[in-house]
Structure 1
Amino acid sequence: MVSAFADTEGPETSRKLPPLTEGPFRKRLFYVALIATFGGLLFGYDTGVINGALAPMTRELGLTAFTEGVVTSSLLFGAAVGAMILGRVSDKWGRRKTIILLAVAFFVGALVCVFTPNFEIMVLGRVILGLAVGGASTVVPVYLAELAPFEIRGSLAGRNELMIVVGQLAAFVINAIIGNIWGQHEGVWRYMLAIAAIPAICLFFGMLRVPESPRWLVDQGRIEEAREVLKTVRPLDRANAEIAEVQELVEEEKEAEKSTISFKEILSNKWFVRILIVGIGLGVAQQLTGINSIMYYGQVVLVEAGFSENAALIANIAPGVIAVVGAFIALWMMDRVNRRTTLITGYTLTTISHVLIGIASFAFPVGDPLRPYVILTLVVIFVGSMQTFLNVATWVMLSELFPLAMRGAAIGISVFFLWITNAFLGLFFPSLMELVGLTGTFFLFAGVGVIALIFIYAMVPETRGRTLEEIDEDVTSGVIFDKNVRKGKVKNN
Structure 2
Amino acid sequence: MATTNPHGGTAQQIQLPPLTDGPHRRRLGLIALVATFGGLLFGYDTGVINGALNPMSADLGLTPLTEGVVTSSLLFGAAVGALAGGRLSDGWGRRKTILLLAVTFFAGTLVCVFAPTFGVMVVGRSLLGLAVGGASTVVPVFLAELAPYEIRGSIAGRNELMIVIGQLAAFVVNAIIGNVWGEVNGVWRIMLSVAALPAIALFVGMLRMPESPRWLISKGRAADALEVLSLVRSPERAQAEMDDVKHLAEEEEAAHQTRWSALSDKWIVRILLVGVGLGIAQQLTGINSIMYYGQTVLIEAGFQSSAALIANIAPGVIAVVGGVIGLWLMQKINRRTTLLLGFSLTTICHFLVGIASIALPVGNPARPFVILLLVVAFVGSMQTFLNIAVWVMLSEIFPLHVRGFAIGVSVFCLWIANALLGLFFPSLVAAVGITGTFFLFGIVGIVALIFVYTQVPETRGRTLEALEEDVTTGAIYTVHKTPTTAR
TM-score computed with the length of structure 1 as normaliser:
0.96
Q: Which residue of 1 aligns with 2:266?
A: 270
Q: Which residue of 2 aligns with 1:167?
A: 166
Superposed CA offset, 1:255-286 (max 9, x none): 0112xx133x2331100010000000000000
Equivalent of 2:467 in 458, 471, 475: 471
- The unaligned stretches of length 5 or more in structure 2 are 4-10
Equivalent of 1:409 in 391, 394, 405: 405
Q: Which residue of 2 aligns with 1:304?
A: 300
- What residue identity is the alignment partner of 2:358? F
- What residue identity is the alignment partner of 1:301? V
Q: Which residue of 1 aligns with 2:374?
A: 378
Superposed CA offset, 1:24-72 (max 9, x none): 1111000000000000000000000000000000000000000000000
Q: Which residue of 2 aligns with 1:111?
A: 110
Query: CA–CA distance in 2 between the matches of 1:404 and 1:217?
Result: 11
- The unaligned stretches of length 5 or more in structure 1 are 1-8
Query: CA–CA distance in 2 between the matches of 1:262 and 1:403?
Result: 10
- What residue identity is the alignment partner of 2:264? S
Query: CA–CA distance in 2 between the matches of 1:329 and 1:111?
Result: 35
Q: Which residue of 2 aligns with 1:3?
A: none
SS of the residue aligned with 1:314?
helix
SS of the residue aligned with 1:463?
coil
Query: CA–CA distance in 2 between the matches of 1:47 and 1:335?
Result: 28
- Equivalent pair of 2:137/2:407 in contact (CA under 8 Å): yes
Q: Which residue of 1 aligns with 2:152?
A: 153
Query: CA–CA distance in 1 between the matches of 2:21 and 2:180?
Result: 48
How far off its partner does 1:10 sit? 10
SS of the residue aligned with 2:220?
coil
Query: CA–CA distance in 2 between the matches of 1:162 and 1:489?
Result: 24
- Equivalent pair of 1:110/1:196 in contact (CA under 8 Å): yes
Flag the 1:224–1:492 CA change in 2: closer, same or farther, 3 A.
Answer: closer
How far off its partner does 1:16 sit? 1.1
- What residue identity is the alignment partner of 1:149? P
- Equivalent pair of 1:271/1:478 in contact (CA under 8 Å): yes
- What residue identity is the alignment partner of 2:428? L
Superposed CA offset, 1:329-358 (max 9, x none): 000010111000000000000000000000
Query: CA–CA distance in 2 between the matches of 1:163 and 1:13?
Result: 38
- Equivalent pair of 1:114/1:193 in contact (CA under 8 Å): yes
How far off its partner does 1:226 sit? 0.5
Matches within 5 A, 1:230-249: 230-249=229-248
Equivalent of 1:348 in 344, 350, 354: 344
Task: Give the superposed CA RMSD.
Answer: 1.4
How far off its partner does 1:452 sit? 0.3
Flag the 1:188–1:492 CA change in 2: closer, same or farther, 3 A.
Answer: closer
- Equivalent pair of 1:349/1:382 in contact (CA under 8 Å): yes
Query: CA–CA distance in 1 between the matches of 2:25 and 2:209?
Result: 14
- Equivalent pair of 1:110/1:194 in contact (CA under 8 Å): yes
Q: Which residue of 1 aligns with 2:7?
A: none
Query: Are 1:335 and 2:319 matched, yes or no?
Result: no
- Equivalent pair of 1:403/1:472 in contact (CA under 8 Å): yes
- Equivalent pair of 2:72/2:423 in contact (CA under 8 Å): yes
SS of the residue aligned with 1:477?
coil
Flag the 1:489–1:221 CA change in 2: closer, same or farther, 3 A.
Answer: closer
Q: Which residue of 1 aligns with 2:8?
A: none
Equivalent of 2:446 in 450, 459, 480: 450
Matches within 5 A, 1:26-425: 26-258=25-257, 261-263=258-260, 265-425=261-421
- What residue identity is the alignment partner of 1:433? V
Query: CA–CA distance in 1 between the matches of 2:240 and 2:268?
Result: 28
Superposed CA offset, 1:183-215 (max 9, x none): 000000000000000000000000000000000
How far off its partner does 1:477 sit? 1.0
- Equivalent pair of 2:259/2:401 in contact (CA under 8 Å): no
Query: Are 1:441 and 2:440 matched, yes or no?
Result: no
- Equivalent pair of 2:24/2:231 in contact (CA under 8 Å): yes
Query: CA–CA distance in 2 between the matches of 1:58 and 1:266?
Result: 47
Flag the 1:65–1:10 CA change in 2: closer, same or farther, 3 A.
Answer: farther
Query: Are 1:429 and 2:397 matched, yes or no?
Result: no
Superposed CA offset, 1:203-247 (max 9, x none): 000000000000000010000101111111000000001001000
SS of the residue aligned with 1:21?
coil
TM-score computed with the length of structure 2 as normaliser:
0.97
Equivalent of 2:482 in 447, 463, 488: 488
Query: Are 1:15 and 2:18 matched, yes or no?
Result: no
Query: CA–CA distance in 1 between the matches of 2:202 and 2:22?
Result: 26
Query: CA–CA distance in 2 between the matches of 1:209 and 1:10?
Result: 38
SS of the residue aligned with 2:458?
coil
Aligned residues: 480
SS of the residue aligned with 2:472?
helix
Superposed CA offset, 1:389-433 (max 9, x none): 000000000000000011000000000000000000000000000
- Equivalent pair of 1:10/1:465 in contact (CA under 8 Å): no
SS of the residue aligned with 1:184?
coil
- Equivalent pair of 1:169/1:320 in contact (CA under 8 Å): yes
How far off its partner does 1:481 sit? 1.4
Superposed CA offset, 1:80-116 (max 9, x none): 0000111000000000000000000000000000000
Q: Which residue of 2 aligns with 1:25?
A: 24
